[in-house]
Amino acid sequence: MSFAIRYSLTLAEEETSGGPAGLLGTVAAEAGPLVGLAGLTTLPLNVSNDVFGGSLVLDADITVTMGEGAVASTFEAVLVNLPAETVKALRAALARRPLSATVRLGYFDDRSVGRHPVMAGRVVKLASWVAEDGLSRVRLTGQDAGGYALRMTPAGVHRAEATTALEFADKVVTAAGLTLAKGSALTTKLTDHTVRNPTALDALRELADTAHAPVVIRDRLVLIGPAVGTDDPAPVVFDPDVNLVSYGDAQGEETLVVAPGEERPPTRNSVNLTVLGHPDLRVGQVATLRGIDDAPAGPLRVNRLVHRFGVRTGYVCEVQLVAAAAGEFVEAVDGVRAVTDRLDAGAERALLARPSVDVGEVSSYRAAGHQVSLRYGQSPPPSVSMPSVTGPVGDDVLLDKPVAAPFAFGPCGLMTPVYPGMRALLAHNRNLVNDAAVVGWLWPRTPGARAPAPEPGDYWLALPTGTGSDGQPTGPGVNDLTDAKGGRVIQASGLHILVGTPKLPQVGARPTPPDDDSVTIEHHTGTTIEIDPEGAVTVRTKGSGIKLTNGAVSLSLDGASVQVT
């Protein structure tokens, strides 16, 4: 491979289409002058070290960083002695519309290498300064165009019917103007699932997590699952006699958060290389090592890659290889990405250990204080869309926790029944594990679970009169139903109605319900209407008259007399 290295950086204003896909942009067909000095202040602008390239000839340091995962690759270009007029024009262009950057690296005497750009990107920041050597410098920082489009595109997809996570991923990728690579797969079935995220990058990460699948974003293509590492060889063999500058290896365990009961991933082998630069090297490619004793068994996949170019320092690629099969997920081994991943993992562990909202299952109820003890906590796999109702409840225990009520005031309130086996929605005040309260109840959607069948508009209280050997409601039920038309049905095993302030009990005193199939309507004066369990009707008063009438004929009972009128 030659040592006569070359670079070019092309900057252009993008034509935006108005939609998310327009973030990828195209170079403006007719980029007019920004100020009067042609060549230095017109776009597209080409900067290079090629004196015959029809461009500004400048020294430059260029770094292109690529990583596996749902992340946007980045670039940084430091240009030395860029004319002040050009800097001013670039600032004006960047303020007006998106500015694209195309980075090309290669060799003067081997034009077959580097036919394709190392990166087509989007400039996100421009900084300029004068260094200690007295020379001005401009730093252009940006992201890969595909990753940038995914980062700037919100994701919103819903499917009521069962479908695979890959269909969601395809919708998200297409909305950002990218293409899903052939061979990509996410087999996780999702039912009544919604993907909603301010950035498609995070949405892709969440979808890939449902199947624990790798993701690679490169050259406006998204590879997911088995597409990563399949039929994708690196363009060169890494050999110390040809292009390998330095070599090192490492071995260690991954620190991903895993759910209780899941096996931790095996110890991972990685290799760190510095090789002579090759512009077609990409993350996700499968590398071949030659001439290295005790190299890890393959396949070896490019997990992280840095193209580092300097006119004075040369062009090399810093390559991190990991031992991973095609489609196997690998977390970042080291570097900035690994640090951020571990920080994210630590934050996730903290959230999992001390959630603000959780789900539990009642194990016992204590009437005094309306308190429950319950099992709580869930550690569902990412493929479970709604663990609150479809996932199992853990075995951690909370004792004597309060149950929230629609009304609670001293000895007054609305008490609702609690049975062992009920699924509780828990709120942890200030994220404190021990300051938990049951704020509601959920009907599980697990196999064998049952729920009422209301009609639209129903206001319905349905209560059991007994439970079976499995602890679930069985036998006759009592109901209080008001429907959407205002009709009301009350069904009870017994009924006692008392009217009149003088006979009301003290606040908080529990009334005694009937223990048979009787109906009693009682007035505070002592008058009662009773229907006994056999259906006999008795009307009693304490000296008060009784009158029955149909409007035409009246029957009056007053003391010992009976009168018909």
Beta strand pairing call for 528-531 and 537-540: antiparallel
214 preceded by cis ω (within 30°)?
no
Chain centroid, CA 194 distance in Å:
10
Is residue 10 scored above 90 in pLDDT? yes
Is residue 27 scored above 80 in pLDDT? no
Q: Which pLDDT band holds residue 270 (cuts at 50, 70, 90)?
A: confident
480-507 pLDDT tens trace: 999 999 999 999 999 999 999 999 999 9
Answer yes or no: are the C-beta atoms of 177 and 14 closer than 8 Å. no
What single DSSP character describes residue 357?
Answer: E
42-81 pLDDT tens trace: 789 999 998 887 679 999 999 999 999 999 999 999 999 9
Residue 110 Cα distances to 60, 105, 106, 245, 318, angstroms: 20, 11, 8, 20, 21
As a whole number of angstroms, the longest Cα–Cα distance in the chain is 129
How much is the pLDDT for 31? 33
CA distance 207 to 548: 73
CA distance 254 to 398: 32
276 φ/ψ angles, rounded to the nearest 5 degrees: -60, 140
**3-state secondary structure (DSSP) of residue 126:** strand
Three-state SS letters, 452-502: CCCCCCCEEEEEECCECCCCCECCCEEEEEECCCCCEEEECCCEEEEECHH
How much is the pLDDT for 28? 34
527-556 pLDDT tens trace: 999 999 999 999 999 988 899 998 889 998
Q: Which pLDDT band holds residue 328 (cuts at 50, 70, 90)?
A: very high
Is residue 169 scored above 90 in pLDDT? yes
How much is the pLDDT for 26? 41
Which residues neighbour 101 within 8 Å (Cβ) at sequence distance 6 or greater? 9, 10, 11, 75, 77, 119, 120, 121, 122, 123, 140, 142
For the entire predicted model, the pTM comes to: 0.76
Is residue 253 scored above 90 in pLDDT? no
Show contacts of 49-58: CB within 8 Å, 24+ apart.
49/5, 49/6, 49/7, 49/311, 50/6, 50/8, 50/108, 53/8, 55/8, 56/82, 56/83, 56/86, 58/82
CA distance 5 to 414: 80
Which residues neighbour 270 within 8 Å (Cβ) at sequence distance 6 or greater? 249, 250, 251, 252, 296, 303, 320, 321, 322, 323, 333, 334
How much is the pLDDT for 3? 64
CA distance 66 to 324: 18
Any idea which of 292-306, 312-326, 363-377, 529-543 has the lowest mean pLDDT?
292-306
| Alpha-helical runs (H) found in 165-324 | 165-175, 200-209
Other CB atoms within 10 Å distance of the CB of residue 1 = 15
Is residue 218 scored above 60 in pLDDT? yes
How much is the pLDDT for 564? 87
CA distance 61 to 483: 74
Tokens 């995914």 sit on residue: 150
Q: Which pLDDT band holds residue 346 (cuts at 50, 70, 90)?
A: low
Answer yes or no: are the C-beta atoms of 214 and 314 closer than 8 Å. no
Instruction: Compute the mean pLDDT over every residue in the chain, rounded to the nearest whole number.
Output: 88
Beta strand pairing call for 268-276 and 314-323: antiparallel
Residue in 483, 478, 491 with CA at minimum distance from that of residue 454: 483
CA distance 438 to 66: 47
Residue 87 Cα distances to 90, 313, 321, angstroms: 5, 25, 39
Instruction: State in Å, rounded, how far the first CA of the chain is from the last one.
Output: 124
How much is the pLDDT for 337? 56
CA distance 450 to 468: 14
> Where does residue 130 rank: exposed (0-12), middle (13-18), buried (19+ CB within 10 A)?
exposed
Other CB atoms within 10 Å distance of the CB of residue 90 = 23
Residue 297 Cα distances to 269, 284, 321, 325, angstroms: 9, 17, 11, 11
How much is the pLDDT for 30? 32
Q: Which pLDDT band holds residue 247 (cuts at 50, 70, 90)?
A: very high
Answer yes or no: are the C-beta atoms of 337 and 69 closer than 8 Å. yes
CA distance 269 to 238: 17
Residue percentage of the chain with pLDDT more than 90: 69
